[in-house]
Amino acid sequence: MIVRQISVFLENRQGTLAKALSVLHDNGVNLRAMTVADTADFGIMRIVVNEPEKVEKILQAADYAVKITPVLALKVEDAPGELMNKVQELADGGISVEYVYAFATADPDGARVVFKVDKLEQAYKILIGKNIVNSDDSNENYW
Amino acid sequence: MGGEKVYWNEPIETMGRAQMEELQTTRLRETVKRVYQQVPFYRSKMQAQGLLPEDIVRLEDIQKLPFIIKQDMRDNYPYGLFAVPLSEIVRIHASSGTTGKPTVVGYTKRDLGIWAEVMARAYSYSGATKKSCIQIAYGYGLFTGGLGAHYGAELLGASVIPISTGNTARQIMLMKDFGTTVLACTPSYALFIAETIVEMGMDLSEFSLKAGIFGAEPWSDNMRREIETRLGIKALDIYGLSEIIGPGVACDCLCQNGLHISEDHFYPEIINPVTGEVMPEGEKGELVITTITKEGMPLVRYRTHDLTMLNRDVCDCGRTLIRMGKILGRSDDMLIIRGVNVFPSQVESVLLSIGNTSPHYQLIVEREDNLDILTVMVEVNEEMFSDEVRGLEELEHKIKAALSSVLQISAKVRLVNPKSLERSEGKAKRVIDNRKI
């Protein structure tokens, strides 16, 4: 499915991540997924949450630079080759993956993998065509 | 100095006060008459105040005349303030400007002669003579430092090494092999050279260095002592600005108790930077200079924005030329970084040219290993923020490239969180200067 991921600019120094997380905590936000990309000077925290628009406003009010980016979130069965097959389909369809991160859920079905791709709509169509995702599987808050 | 000539131009350097003022009065009147006739800018400004050249009779009458500021030079870019036709101009120099347009100055042949004369005096204040070997490690080019220091050293008759800036190891090798006795560069570069000599495992006894003429950036007495100890020389402060002529407007003598202004060419005043009124002698204020002999681009009452004080007492060296104190600071927000003038507004214009809105920013200046480091902190706003590391790094590089092309010096760029930069009473604090000078 397509989910709206929130990206947050963080300076790369001690305590900035803890502070951002405490802002989310203070507002009762539960993280579904999270990753931090970093350079020597700064990082980008990417999170998946329920009600992204609401969380975006919370972070903006706390003086963070925030951006909502639509990304693909796929269920991946707990078996060898499951992720490889999906990435191969995207590659065959001419889709470039800009970044990817995986995380576990309480769901017994397996893990989730988030893909930021260059041509999102096209990638989504390819995955539906290959029965990798269901078109009705569109409730962001499902997981 | 055993039998060597102590003064370069004894009649001028030791001229009595009354005689000097007579000379200045004559030259001032000529200058005012000339700019009134030749430069529409001055004529209209004087007319607006109901002034005629004949109203300037005594030296004090200079106070009736309006000031000229750097913005006037930009408004008249490039040649609007020249008082001679371009055919009489033999050299053009320029310094960096806030909007990308430089400040332009033009010299006639006679102006270049005056410049060499005042620079030769400056060298002679350090004890340099035609027997000296002078290494010029100021940049050569549009910047006035290199060529100004060069022609003065040639006029003195010294052996000149026009090495320009950079390649410190080579500077040091030639300094040793050629027997350099006088080094001309920025004080921070002098310290850097001193450190590199130690790093290269060389000993001061291998060098013939006796004095240094250091300028183009503010420095303290502590830094002077450090340079003197590390290089085993006398370190003299030289003052100048391209608008007036370049280096050589004033220079320390070996007494190091104030910089002698070549006041037969540059008439100094100290004003209250807020009211514009002339301050009593000895009081601290903004230095205002009138060029009283320049032909190409005479400036009448140019506000330097440099804060200092004047002293007309005869110096222990015997010179009567008026002395100015070390520069105590600026009366505007200009920074001098590695000898280059930097205005916060230049940074703002760069940031504006990259995004649609100018983000908040702050300039942090530090001195590491005796070199000035400029870091520009930029608050990331929603418009600039990219979800991808690559996007933000590209933005950093773009800002960096644009800054170095506009400022003429390289700057570090650091992206920081929105609203994280210090603001005082809602107004952004644009500059933090952590240099200990």
Q: Is A11 in contact with B393 (Cβ distance < 8 A)?
A: no
Closest chain A C-alpha to B419 CA, distance in angstroms: 6
The sheet with strand B310-311 has its strands ordered as B159-161, B133-136, B182-185, B211-215, B234-241, B246-252, B259-261, B323-324, B310-311
CA trace torsion B280, B286, B290, B294 (10° rounding): 140
Closest chain B C-alpha to A46 CA, distance in angstroms: 8
Work out the burial of residue B201: count CB atoms within 10 Å of its CB; fewer than 13 is exposed, 13-18 middle, 19 or more buried. Answer: exposed
User: B298 pLDDT exceeds 50?
Assistant: yes
Q: Is A9 in contact with B419 (Cβ distance < 8 A)?
A: no
pLDDT of residue A10: 94
pLDDT of residue A22: 96
User: B405 pLDDT exceeds 90?
Assistant: no
Q: Which residues of A touch B388 (CB under 8 A)?
A: 44, 98-99, 116
C-alpha B365/C-alpha B204 separation (Å) is 31
- pLDDT tens digits for range B77-117: 999 999 999 999 999 999 865 455 789 999 999 999 999 99
Using alpha carbons, select from A86, A27, A56, A58 the residue that is nearest to residue B387.
A56
Average pLDDT, chain B: 91
- Give contacts of B 353-392 with A, CB under 8 A: 380-382, 384-389, 392
Q: 0.80 cut: is pTM over it? A: no
pLDDT of residue A135: 58
pLDDT of residue B5: 58
Signed CA dihedral, B247, B253, B257, B260: sign only: negative
Reduce the DSSP state of residue B19 to 3 states and report it: helix
- Alpha helices, DSSP H only, in B180-264? 187-199, 221-231
Indicate the residue of A42, A65, A99 with minimum beta-carbon distance to B382. A65
Q: Which residues of B touch A12 (CB under 8 A)?
A: none
The gap between the terminal CA atoms of chain A, to the nearest Å, is 11
**Token digits of residue A99:** 């970044």
What is the number of CB-based contacts under 8 A between chain A and chain B? 56
Neighbours of B204 (CB within 10 A): 13
pLDDT band, very low/low/confident/very high, at B435 (cuts 50, 70, 90): confident
pLDDT band, very low/low/confident/very high, at A142 (cuts 50, 70, 90): very low
Phi, psi of B131 (to 5 degrees): -85, -10
Q: Is B392 in contact with A65 (Cβ distance < 8 A)?
A: no
The HSE-up count of residue B424 (CA atoms within 13 Å, CB side) is 5
- Alpha helices, DSSP H only, in chain A? 16-26, 52-61, 82-92, 120-129
Average pLDDT, chain A: 87
Q: Tell whether A67 lies on the interface with B, counting CB pairs under 8 A.
A: yes
Q: Is A63 in contact with B420 (Cβ distance < 8 A)?
A: yes
What percent of chain B lies above the pLDDT cut of 90? 69
* Pairing of the two strands B361-368 and B371-379: antiparallel
User: B357 pLDDT exceeds 90?
Assistant: no
The least confident of A21-25, A116-120, B187-191 is B187-191
Using alpha carbons, select from B46, B369, B17 the residue that is nearest to residue B226.
B369
pLDDT of residue B3: 47
Rg of chain A taking only CA atoms, in angstroms = 16
Residue with tokens 């008249």: B76
Closest chain A C-alpha to B38 CA, distance in angstroms: 55
User: B17 pLDDT exceeds 80?
Assistant: yes
Phi, psi of B320 (to 5 degrees): -100, -10
- pLDDT tens digits for range B42-69: 999 999 999 999 999 999 999 999 999 9
Q: Is B389 in contact with A37 (Cβ distance < 8 A)?
A: yes
C-alpha B81/C-alpha B14 separation (Å) is 33
Reduce the DSSP state of residue A86 to 3 states and report it: helix
Is this complex's ipTM strictly greater than 0.90?
A: no
C-alpha B386/C-alpha B394 separation (Å) is 10
* Pairing of the two strands B211-215 and B182-185: parallel
**Token digits of residue A112:** 């989730």
What fold is seen in the domain A70-135?
Answer: Alpha-Beta Plaits (3.30.70)
Using alpha carbons, select from B268, B230, B204 the residue that is nearest to residue B59.
B268
User: B183 pLDDT exceeds 70?
Assistant: yes
Residue with tokens 């620079």: B119
pLDDT of residue B426: 47
Question: Residue A8: closest CA among chain B residues belongs to which residue?
Answer: B387
In order of start, what are the domains of chain B with their CATH numbers? 10-332 (3.40.50.12780), 336-433 (3.30.300.30)
Q: Which residues of A touch B414 (CB under 8 A)?
A: 41
CA trace torsion A15, A21, A26, A31 (10° rounding): -170
Rg of chain B taking only CA atoms, in angstroms = 23
Residues constituting chain B: 437
Tell me which of B191 and A22 has the higher pLDDT.
A22
Residue B248 to residues A96, A134, B266, Cα–Cα distance (Å): 62, 80, 10
Q: Where in chain A is the domain with CATH 3.30.70.260?
A: 70-135
pLDDT of residue B2: 44
**Token digits of residue B143:** 């910047």
User: B139 pLDDT exceeds 50?
Assistant: yes
Q: Which CATH architecture has domain A2-67?
A: 2-Layer Sandwich (3.30)
Question: Residue B379: closest CA among chain A residues belongs to which residue?
Answer: A65
User: B323 pLDDT exceeds 80?
Assistant: yes
The least confident of A100-114, B36-50, B159-173 is A100-114
The residues, any chain, with a CB within 8 Å of residue B177's CB and separated by 6 or more, are: none
C-alpha B142/C-alpha B93 separation (Å) is 5
Which long-range contacts (C-beta less than 8 Å, at least 24 apart) are formed by B368-373? B369/B192, B369/B195, B370/B188, B370/B191, B370/B192, B370/B195, B371/B188, B371/B189, B371/B192, B371/B338, B372/B188, B372/B217, B372/B337, B372/B338, B372/B435, B373/B412
C-alpha B52/C-alpha B118 separation (Å) is 31
Mean pLDDT (whole number) for B164-172: 92
Closest chain A C-alpha to B98 CA, distance in angstroms: 28
Mean pLDDT (whole number) for A75-86: 86
C-alpha A77/C-alpha A67 separation (Å) is 30
pLDDT of residue B166: 85
User: B13 pLDDT exceeds 60?
Assistant: yes
Q: Which residues of B touch A98 (CB under 8 A)?
A: 388
The residues, any chain, with a CB within 8 Å of residue A22's CB and separated by 6 or more, are: none
Q: Tell whether B417 lies on the interface with A, counting CB pairs under 8 A.
A: yes
pLDDT of residue B336: 85
User: A61 pLDDT exceeds 70?
Assistant: yes
Q: Tell whether A46 lies on the interface with B, counting CB pairs under 8 A.
A: yes
Mutate to test the interface with B, among A9, A10, A14, A16 (most CBs of B within 10 A): A9
- Per the CB < 8 A criterion, the answer to whether B54 and B297 are in contact is no
Q: Where in chain A is the domain with CATH 3.30.2130.10?
A: 2-67
User: B6 pLDDT exceeds 90?
Assistant: no
CA A41 to chain centroid: 23
User: B229 pLDDT exceeds 70?
Assistant: yes
Q: Is A9 in contact with B380 (Cβ distance < 8 A)?
A: yes
- Per the CB < 8 A criterion, the answer to whether B152 and B118 are in contact is yes
User: B327 pLDDT exceeds 60?
Assistant: yes
**Token digits of residue B408:** 């003429």
Q: Which residues of A touch B393 (CB under 8 A)?
A: 39
